[in-house]
Amino acid sequence: MILIQRLRFLNFGVIAVILILCLFAYPFTANLAMRYLQPRPMGNGDIAPLFTDQIQYWERDIMRWSTAYQIDPNLMATIMQIESCGHPTVASPAGAQGLFQVMPFHFASGENMVDPHMNAYRSANFIRECTGYANGDVGLTLACYNGGPSVTWRNFDTWAHETQRYYVWGVGIYQDASAYQENSDTLNEWLRAGGQNLCNRASMALSLRLP
């Protein structure tokens, strides 16, 4: 009888130790689950090979951001291609900042607008907003990203010429990227129209060898 009581006491002690270990291990295992059990982004597991070297430089980050914010990585890569060609600190005359050329009013006070991760976060918020205005239409989402939400309910011929060009280039590049093509005639057209100069600046900022 005494032996049985001791065994019961021992079993209770083992169970208590296991529960304590589980309690302390929970934060670690929870972090692992959050890190490795995230849903996979759309696409083939990486961005299309057609994007320029400056965009390929950011591929791992693009995949990480697309997973975190549930946005097609090739859409994020297309926007980065046209907006900055991967230049992390470039600014436009209108004040747009960083990799995704996000306008200052999208940021909260004190946020570093050219920090790549913060820039991607604010860009993703606006992409989702534009996707809502565009009812999921990728072309209108791209136009909204460049010209603002009002373009989604106005005729194409009323858009600014810059937004019209952005739409044509963006849709062409994105469609080729979605097909996982190695080359894009639309991307080459964008490069000839002035994009190459932007990419050369990005190469210098990233310390990449110029083509």
Positions marked catalytic: 83
Check: CB of residue 84 under 8 Å from CB of residue 90: yes
Interatomic CA distance for residues 171 and 78, integer angstroms: 9
Interatomic CA distance for residues 112 and 164, integer angstroms: 30
Q: Considering just the CA atoms, what is the radius of gyration of the chain in Å?
A: 24
Check: CB of residue 66 under 8 Å from CB of residue 44: no
